[in-house]
Amino acid sequence: MGFYRTGWAAGEMPEETSSFVGRRAELLKTGGALEEARLVTLTGVGGVGKTRLALRAAAESRAAFPDGVWLVELSPLPPGQRDSELIALTVMEALRLADRTTRPATEVVCEWLAGRHLLLVLDCCEHLIPACAHLAGKLLTAAPGLRILATSRQFLGIRSEHVVTVPPLPAPGPDRPPAGAGQGEDAVALFTDRAAHAAPGLAGDLAARAVVADICARLEGIPLAVELAAARLPELTLTQLRAHLKARFEVLAADPDAYGDGEPRHQALRTTIGWSHELCAPLERLLWARLSVFAGGFDQEAAQAVCAGGPLAAADVPRLLDSLVGKSLLQRRAYVTGLVRYTMLDTVREFGAQWLAGLGEERATARRHRDHYLGLARRADAAWIGPGQVAWYARAVAEHANFRTALDFCLTEDEGQAALELGGALWFFWFACGYAREGRRYLDQALARWTDPGPTRTKAVWACGMAALVQGDTDTATRLGREFRADAEAAGAPAMLTAAAHLDGAALLQCGQLAEAAAVMDAAPPYTRDHGSDYAGARLVLWAIRAYVCMALGECEDAVAMADALRAECDRRGERWARAYADYNQALAERGLGQTEEASGHAQAALKNKALLHDSLGTALAVDLLASLSADSGHGQRAARLLGAAQQIWDTLGRPQAGLPELTAARTACERQAREALGDAAYEAAFREGLQTSIDEGLAYALHQP
């Protein structure tokens, strides 16, 4: 699977970037617990390897879950959140549910899970215990086939929870024999594996392994501590490494409050991280602290923009990032999209955040973070209708957690203008990229709190109206459309009046008022090529909607002409999202004119671009249309299989056929044609085949010309 999100595919475990060492007993215990209990929580101190164990256990259990194993990463969410709806929204996104309704996220997830047999991995629950516990209880009640594997520093505390404590890796104790005599092999093996590049002969050197065994014993076998220590070998010898650690732990023994009180092994990990911190150069420490403001990862550009200042020059950041990666304090990953991103383990980030607070730089760094992502949103808004659209899609999705963090900062710090501007600039993310529900969440709050008129608020009103349209909330879209139109008429800006016509016309279309929708859109100002407009995308979207209305009214030749003109303009700009709707509308119109072969070509062209941009609605529409064209051509089995493939996507959207009666009628007619051609049994078999294949395989089948 790889259809709906960038990075590693939604619904799949990420590939391990380093070898998995030991844990056979814990894997067996976790696998057995998943067979017996519906909620299994892996608990243990930070850095003990809960996430890694959960991912490996989930991967090994995959065969038991026909509907897949799905990872939900909760660490990017703000701590202390008690609203289980935010957790449910994160689960929705992980399950790639692009639901286009206003129903609560918990209801959407419960309904989708109800008939499925799958495993959810809820990773890093400790900062969201009440909300996670509430949601887990709801999901398990609604979905009998669901299993949940959670990781947390403390258990969730709900009925029927099976808790598996994750211990450190076995390490030799002070009165145990050294590694090689059957004790402490896992911790030593991990150290040896991670140090292989810096010390390639370590595995066969018995004297060196005795030193390693001593190091692992001091580190209590905690995997993160072991990996951080091993990462120091390029600059320290084994003997020096042991001496440094001995000194640090003597400080801990003399002053147990040096790094806080609590579970001794947690103190040991914090001491190891503190020791790693002390071994960093001053600029590395400063960068580490400032990087703690990022959520869900970051790229080099963001690190330079947010973290540079004072003694830390932007030009030094790339070198320092490489150094922190080499010390295992950061992880670097390159994606197939060309993105290169960095992530920081939660325990390491927490230490950096505490150091940042000690420096008194928390708010200033958070504000620079907000400023950077506001600037990034402005750039994406300006470039969305252009040749970089696919790359901007990938980048916006990758930065989702940071956009959320920036918006939360605006709302928390009572910075209304910034909240409205950021929410408005991200209109394309809410409207075209599948995040309308989250856009409404932020824009509704911002618009309710900051009511002073002005261009920034006006743009946010439009963006919120666009998100409401996606959800089929025509009442809200109409209300916001009236407010936006008043501002547009006062400004007299043609681009704004066009945007108002789109809001009004699309709302009328969703209400089934086709003639009224056509009249409103036809009253928009004549088209001009205004690249710099804040509302450049509105003209293309209006054009696409107007072509659809032409087709729905039976004006097929006009629809073809309008789609041709829209496609030409999109090609001139290098734009793909609206161009795909031009192809779709042209295919609809050509089908109405009896031009089946031409219609199939345009429908497949629409599907290619919609799949490229992960547009669930556009993809489902195109596959439905290809099914109808197959039925028209007498290919009943292909039509049935395509209907099944499309149904998978419609199930994630919440509103079949976008709630448009003419599309519902077309799908019903297609099913009737296919059943008549095949007979009920053969139809059901072909439909089931499309429904049960992976989405990517279904799309490949749809793009294959029979």
Q: What is the pLDDT of residues 242-298, one digit of tens each?
A: 888 888 776 555 555 544 444 555 566 777 888 888 889 999 999 999 999 999 899
Tens-digit pLDDT profile for residues 474-532 = 999 999 999 999 999 999 999 999 999 999 999 999 999 999 999 999 999 987 765 45
Q: 10 Å Cβ neighbour count for 158?
A: 14
State the pTM of this model: 0.91
DSSP class of residue 359 equals H
Which residue, 37, 35, 38, is CA-closest to 64?
Answer: 35
User: What distances in angstroms separate CA 554 from CA 49, 543, 557, 592, one per listed residue?
Assistant: 62, 17, 9, 8
What pLDDT band is residue 8 in, cutting at 50, 70 and 90?
Answer: very low
What pLDDT band is residue 79 in, cutting at 50, 70 and 90?
Answer: confident
Tens-digit pLDDT profile for residues 422-435 = 999 999 999 999 99
Q: Which position has the higher pLDDT, 397 or 18? A: 397
User: From CA 491, how far away is CA 455, in angstroms rounded?
Assistant: 9
For the chain, percent of residues with pLDDT exceeding 90: 71
Point out which residues pair with 120 in neighbouring strands.
70, 148
For the chain, percent of residues with pLDDT exceeding 70: 91
User: From CA 356, how far away is CA 66, in angstroms rounded?
Assistant: 45
pLDDT recorded at residue 454: 95
Which residue, 466, 459, 420, 462, is CA-closest to 443?
Answer: 420
Alpha helices in 327-361 (DSSP H): 346-359
Is the torsion defined by CA of 316, 317, 319, 323 positive or negative? positive
Q: Which of 95-99, 518-522, 529-533, 658-662 is modeled with the greatest confidence? A: 518-522
Helix (H) or strand (E) holding 72: strand 69-73
> What rounded mean pLDDT belongs to the chain?
89
Mean pLDDT of 678-699: 94
Does residue 159 register a pLDDT over 80? yes
Which residues are CB-contacts of 702 (< 8 A; sequence separation ≥ 6)? 604, 607, 622, 623, 626, 642, 645
What pLDDT band is residue 446 in, cutting at 50, 70 and 90?
Answer: very high
Mean pLDDT of 383-392: 94
Place of tokens 């056929």: 657
Q: Specify whether the CB–CB gap between 687 and 638 falls below 8 A.
A: no
pLDDT recorded at residue 6: 30
Which residue, 696, 699, 680, 677, is CA-closest to 688?
Answer: 680
Which residues are CB-contacts of 213 (< 8 A; sequence separation ≥ 6)? 171, 172, 178, 179, 180, 184, 188
